[in-house]
Each structure stands twice: as structure tokens, then as C-alpha cells.
Amino acid sequence: MKQIKVNAIKNGTVIDHITTGKIRKVLDILHLDGTDIVMIGMNLSSKKLGRKDIIKIENKELSELEVNSIALIAPEATLIIIKDFEVVKKSSLKIPEYIEDIISCPNPKCITNEERIISKFKLTNDEPAQVRCIYCEKKYLIDEVKIKN
């Protein structure tokens, strides 16, 4: 039964198992334009999470930047790629070891907030996810940093 639900789009990407409440942030980083066909499910029941949100986008493949950004916002999400109604790839997300240009440093004294330069962070801990700015060297929990749109 589940198979049918997931395969409801012909070609495109499904972002499944998004923790409820995080879907807005995920949509923000997806750079969808007015013509994209998007289906959104919220508060669906889920064996894994109890409740979950889901996004299905027709004819879209996510960029590496988008995938990494989603990993930061909703690390528990599953990424499913659909071709001709078939699941061709299913992968869980992983926060990259090195995060470039996705998040901004919360430290107001950091050079990244003084100059127009690309932010760079290193993942220092997985659970809970924690990153260190390579410039000011401050450590932050993922929930403390702002994800750029």
C-alpha cells in the first residue's frame, strides 16, 4: 500500500519522514518556482516517527546544496528519487562533515558577518549535531545556527 502512495508522482523527488513542524523550513530552502508541481502531506501517521510530513515534487532533482541543507534541518528525513513511477533510489540523509555556505555564523563578531565571504563549518558532533565555524572557531548546536535561504 505504501508503495502506491510514494509512487503517486511519475518523475521527481520525495522527501519523506520529515519531523512535523520542520516542513516550512524545508520548503524555504527548496527554491521552488511558481510552475513546480508540489504535493505536501502534513501530520501523516508514521511507524518511524509517529507523525510525519512529506513533500513530493514532480520533475525535480535536488542539488547537492539542497540535500545538505535538508540534512541540517531535518536529518531524519528520507530522500526518494522516482523515475517512471518507480523508486530508483532511497537514501537517508547525513549532515556533511564540511558545510559550506549553507548556514550563517551566529557570532556577531565573526568575520563572516563583517565581510561578504562564504561561511564554512566543520561538523564536530553527530548526536546532537554540533558544528564549529572555521573562522571564529565558536561551536554551535545545529538548532542555534540560521540556515540561509
Q: Of 100, 104, 123, which Cα lies nearest the Cα of 114?
A: 104
The alpha-carbon radius of gyration of the chain (Å, integer) is 17
Q: Does 134 bind another protein (CB under 8 A)?
A: yes
Distance separating alpha carbons of residues 115 and 119, to the nearest angstrom: 10
Among the residue ranges 5-13, 41-49, 94-102, 104-112, the one whose residues contact another protein (CB under 8 A): 104-112
Q: Does 105 bind Zn ion (CB under 5 A)?
A: yes
Residues 30-49 touching another protein, rule: CB under 8 A, are none
The residues near 39 (Cβ < 8 Å, ≥ 6 apart) are: 8, 9, 55, 56, 57
Among the residue ranges 2-10, 53-61, 84-92, 132-140, the one whose residues contact another protein (CB under 8 A): 132-140
Per-residue binder mask for Zn ion (CB under 5 A), 116-135, x = binder: -----------------x-x
CA distances from 69 to 5, 87, 109, 149 (A): 25, 22, 24, 9
Report the residue number, 61 or 144, with the smaller CB distance to another protein.
Answer: 144
Q: Does 143 bind another protein (CB under 8 A)?
A: no
Which letter, b or e, does each residue of 111-135 get, where b requires 16 or more Cβ atoms within 10 Å of its Cβ?
ebeeeeeebbbebeeeeebbbbbeb
> By CB under 8 A, how many residues form the interface with another protein?
16
Among the residue ranges 46-54, 72-80, 82-90, 103-111, the one whose residues contact another protein (CB under 8 A): 103-111
Q: 26, 135, 142, 145: which one contacts another protein (CB under 8 A)? A: 135
Which residue type sits at 14? V
Query: Which positions lie near another protein, rule CB under 8 A?
Result: 107, 109-112, 114-117, 133-139
